[in-house]
A and B are shown apart, each in its own frame.
Chain A
Amino acid sequence: MKETADHSGAFAPAAAVALDGVRFAWPQRRQGARFSIAIDRLVIAPGERVFLEGPSGSGKSTLLSLLCGILSPDSGQIEVCGAPFSALAGGRRDRLRAERFGIIFQMFNLLPYASPLDNVMLPLTFAPARAARVGRDREGAARRLMTDLGLAREVVEAPRASSLSVGQQQRVAVARALIGAPDIVVADEPTSALDAGAQEAFLALLFDQVAEAGATLLMVSHDAALGARFDRRLALTDMARVSREGAA
């Protein structure tokens, strides 16, 4: 991680993610309401495990899209690992996202028709640095990672991801996020469809793997009870707001 000077002039490690004066509002109005996000300052340190909590509709997905550079803020800046993420042109932002972020979706969102191996190798297609880290034998690296995550050989060799159980899909999704050691792992409501026991097992697996990779973890959930296990918890309700049509 490169280091940058803070306001005091001392060198400090660059933040994994830093948001400064970020403002974003969806252009469309829904049922008279206009959703917007306003964040004055948010810094997430490298290796930190941050829990973003908020009820459904509070803007978690919007914030994640902003953090991952799929949406651009109306104003303000977003930096990722010291790079001015939000100021980059679309193509470079996509490349940076591919290189720096590993993403675990709600319901895991594997490509159902692709094999688990192809699902895991997919991010390497768009991230040359991550691909270089795993070496020329991408498939071998993907197999090793999947085996380390406890996936049996027949699961690794399965022709379609849709044939896997929910638990197996979880692990494939984690492998896809971790392959090539990205700096930041983003998990979007990954436990929303799991029972308590499965939630616990999944979080243990996620923490272990992220710690081993030395990555920053940013998890979003509406389930506030999970927040106790993270280094820091942030409430989205403090950052996002819904303004009535015509209101400021």
Chain B
Amino acid sequence: MILLRLALRSLANRWMTVALTVFATALSVALFLGVEKTRSGARASFADTVSGVDLIVGARSGSVQLLLYSVFRIGSATNTVSWQSYQDIAAMEGVAWSVPLTLGDSHRGFRVLGTTKAYFDRYKYRGGRSLRLAAGERFEDVFDAVLGADVAATLGYTLGQEIVVAHGLASFALHEDRPFRVSGILEKTGTPVDRTVHIGLKGYEAIHLGWQSGARMPGFSVSAEAVRSMDLTPKTVTAALVGIESRLAILRLQRAINTYPEEPLLAILPGVALQELWGLVGVAETALAGVSLMVVATALLGMAAMIMAGLNERRREMAILRAVGARPRVIIAMLVLEAALISIAGALCGLALLYVGLLVMQPWLDATYGLFIAITPPGPEELAILSAIVGAGTLVGLFPALRAYRLSLADGMTVST
């Protein structure tokens, strides 16, 4: 007990260098855990975004690309699916439900999604939660729009407000002659839905009447009222979410869609595509984890260097301990104990820094990147990482400890420094 007390007092005696070392260790621990937390948060966030959907169908491209643009609103489709093909798929044996998705336009930086009202029933997130309206109602009229929570919050929109959709994702061409009215605002979901403006398929078709190749056709002018009476059946959709009656039929249905004779289509299983995505980003993840691990290693080596640098000043202290009967291994134990105490303090401070960082960054990450990182108590994996860091720090402490041991043997009872 007295050795622990002495080790603590010895550390307190050098509080400035010790505090800096603890801070450096804490920063590295927070960085390492932060990277892990972000990685697992990103995976959970992606996995939570798509729930209850058995197949995603789009024009033939890459499965990851289809997943990203249809569900996560990342990137764009290179081709579309004809309305006829979509209807054929919806009518296939074994298909329980389908929801068409049309993407391509935007509103002040937020994507606009054309879909049907079934989307609000069929889209599930975080293990089966349904979308719920915080205010208003789903789109009933052709020019009704339902806003995601972040869209409304960021732009300060309220029910009844008129909004104008822009053609394309970064276009100055506006569908200003056919504005939409905000009919509903969704509750926060922590998914890309929050950053999406939802309109009906008919509305999507309506604003594109008289447009060709991304530009308004000269001389074509139809009022919004007149549009309502026109045939607004879409000609194409970007993708479709599909639910099936029996999971046993999923592979058969996927094969049927992938070999659809009328046009080249691609059906993907969201879980498999996600795995493919993790496989692609795994290298970057590993590199990031490697860098943060190196930062931890650097901090621990810095700690060893700090203890090592102080040894010369502490030779008298070691000589006193040896003279009163401390075995060399007690000297080793004391220095290893110091390293362990610094590592423990660094790990705990790092954990505290992480949570403070999460509290500060969580709303910004969610709003900016749609990355929702849950603030939960440290799990077994994090505790294992912290234990490993403390263990590594203690091991690293052996270097100065062995040096002190050699010095204490060489110095004998007196030190002539």
Q: Which of A32-40, A73-81, A94-102, A233-241 lies at the interface with chain B?
A: A94-102
Tell whether A166 is near chain B: CB-to-CB under 8 Å. no
Please state if B412 and A94 are interface contacts (CB–CB under 8 Å): no
Residue of A nearest to B1 (CB): A125
| Whole-angstrom CA separation of A90 from B325 in the bound complex | 11
Please state if A71 and B412 are interface contacts (CB–CB under 8 Å): yes
Tell whether A217 is near chain B: CB-to-CB under 8 Å. no
Q: Can you give 19 A-B contacts (C-beta < 8 A)?
A: A61-B412, A62-B412, A65-B413, A70-B412, A70-B413, A91-B327, A94-B327, A95-B325, A97-B325, A98-B324, A98-B325, A99-B325, A101-B323, A105-B320, A113-B13, A122-B324, A125-B2, A176-B324, A188-B413
Tell whether B152 is near chain A: CB-to-CB under 8 Å. no
Please state if B328 and A125 are interface contacts (CB–CB under 8 Å): no
Residues of B contacting A110 in the complex (Cβ-Cβ under 8 angstroms): 320
Residues of B contacting A185 in the complex (Cβ-Cβ under 8 angstroms): none
**A131 smallest CB distance to B (angstroms):** 11
Residues of A contacting B416 in the complex (Cβ-Cβ under 8 angstroms): 61
Please state if A118 and B325 are interface contacts (CB–CB under 8 Å): no
Please state if B325 and A105 are interface contacts (CB–CB under 8 Å): no
Partner of A113, one of B12, B319, B321, B327: B12
Residues of B contacting A121 in the complex (Cβ-Cβ under 8 angstroms): 2
B residues 293-328 with Cβ under 8 Å of A? 316-317, 319-328
Residues of B contacting A99 in the complex (Cβ-Cβ under 8 angstroms): 325
Tell whether B161 is near chain A: CB-to-CB under 8 Å. no
Mostly, the B contact residues are helix
Residues of A contacting B12 in the complex (Cβ-Cβ under 8 angstroms): 113
Please state if A106 and B414 are interface contacts (CB–CB under 8 Å): yes
Interface residues of A (CB under 8 A from B): 61-62, 64-65, 68, 70-71, 90-91, 94-95, 97-99, 101, 103, 105-106, 109-114, 118, 121-123, 125-127, 176, 188
Please state if A70 and B322 are interface contacts (CB–CB under 8 Å): yes
Please state if A94 and B326 are interface contacts (CB–CB under 8 Å): yes
Partner of A188, one of B324, B326, B328, B414: B414
Q: Which of B3-11, B55-63, B133-141, B356-364 lies at the interface with chain A?
A: B3-11
**A30 smallest CB distance to B (angstroms):** 11
Residues of A contacting B317 in the complex (Cβ-Cβ under 8 angstroms): 111
Tell whether B330 is near chain A: CB-to-CB under 8 Å. yes
Q: Known contacts A126-B324, A176-B324; decide if A114 and B413 are in contact (CB<8 Å).
A: no
Residue among B9, B12, B330, B414 with most chain A CB within 10 A: B414
Residues of B contacting A114 in the complex (Cβ-Cβ under 8 angstroms): 5-6, 9
Q: In the complex, how many residues of chain B place their beta carbon closer than 8 angstroms to a beta carbon of chain A?
A: 25
Please state if A68 and B323 are interface contacts (CB–CB under 8 Å): yes
| Whole-angstrom CA separation of A195 from B327 in the bound complex | 35
**A219 smallest CB distance to B (angstroms):** 14
Partner of A103, one of B13, B316, B324, B327: B324
Residue among A71, A90, A110, A122 with most chain B CB within 10 A: A122
Q: Can you list, as one digit per residue, whether each of B315-347 has a CB less than 8 Å from chain A (1) or not (0)?
A: 011011111111110100000000000000000
- Nearest 10 CB-CB pairs, A to B? A98-B325, A126-B325, A65-B412, A113-B13, A61-B414, A123-B324, A113-B9, A94-B327, A65-B413, A70-B412
Partner of B413, one of A61, A118, A123: A61
**B46 smallest CB distance to A (angstroms):** 53
| Whole-angstrom CA separation of A106 from B414 in the bound complex | 9
Residue of A nearest to B13 (CB): A113
Q: Known contacts A94-B326, A98-B325; decide if A125 and B3 are in contact (CB<8 Å).
A: yes
Residue of B nearest to A95 (CB): B325
Please state if A118 and B6 are interface contacts (CB–CB under 8 Å): yes
Please state if A90 and B414 are interface contacts (CB–CB under 8 Å): no
Please state if B324 and A64 are interface contacts (CB–CB under 8 Å): no
Interface residues of B (CB under 8 A from A): 2-3, 5-6, 9-10, 12-13, 316-317, 319-328, 330, 412-414, 416
Please state if A109 and B320 are interface contacts (CB–CB under 8 Å): yes
| Whole-angstrom CA separation of A119 from B241 in the bound complex | 76
Residue of A nearest to B326 (CB): A126
Residues of B contacting A65 in the complex (Cβ-Cβ under 8 angstroms): 412-414
Residue of A nearest to B408 (CB): A70
Please state if B414 and A94 are interface contacts (CB–CB under 8 Å): no
**B79 smallest CB distance to A (angstroms):** 74
**B296 smallest CB distance to A (angstroms):** 29
| Whole-angstrom CA separation of A95 from B326 in the bound complex | 8
Residues of A contacting B321 in the complex (Cβ-Cβ under 8 angstroms): 122
Residue of B nearest to A177 (CB): B324
Q: Known contacts A114-B9, A122-B2; decide if A68 and B413 are in contact (CB<8 Å).
A: yes
Please state if B412 and A112 are interface contacts (CB–CB under 8 Å): no
Residue of A nearest to B330 (CB): A126
Q: Known contacts A64-B414, A118-B5, A188-B413; decide if A109 and B316 are in contact (CB<8 Å).
A: yes
| Whole-angstrom CA separation of A101 from B325 in the bound complex | 9
| Whole-angstrom CA separation of A72 from B286 in the bound complex | 54
**A52 smallest CB distance to B (angstroms):** 14
| Whole-angstrom CA separation of A109 from B416 in the bound complex | 13
**A41 smallest CB distance to B (angstroms):** 23
Residues of B contacting A118 in the complex (Cβ-Cβ under 8 angstroms): 2, 5-6, 9
Partner of A123, one of B6, B9, B325: B325
Residue among B3, B320, B322, B330 with most chain A CB within 10 A: B320
Residue of B nearest to A107 (CB): B316
Partner of A111, one of B6, B327, B330: B6
| Whole-angstrom CA separation of A97 from B414 in the bound complex | 15
Residue among B325, B412, B414 with most chain A CB within 10 A: B325
**A200 smallest CB distance to B (angstroms):** 25
Please state if A64 and B413 are interface contacts (CB–CB under 8 Å): yes
Residue of B nearest to A122 (CB): B324
Please state if A105 and B327 are interface contacts (CB–CB under 8 Å): no
Other A-B contacts than A90-B327, A114-B6, 10 sampled, CB-CB below 8 A, are: A61-B412, A94-B327, A97-B325, A98-B325, A103-B324, A106-B414, A112-B13, A114-B9, A122-B2, A122-B324
Residue of A nearest to B409 (CB): A70
Please state if A127 and B319 are interface contacts (CB–CB under 8 Å): no
| Whole-angstrom CA separation of A70 from B327 in the bound complex | 10
**A178 smallest CB distance to B (angstroms):** 12
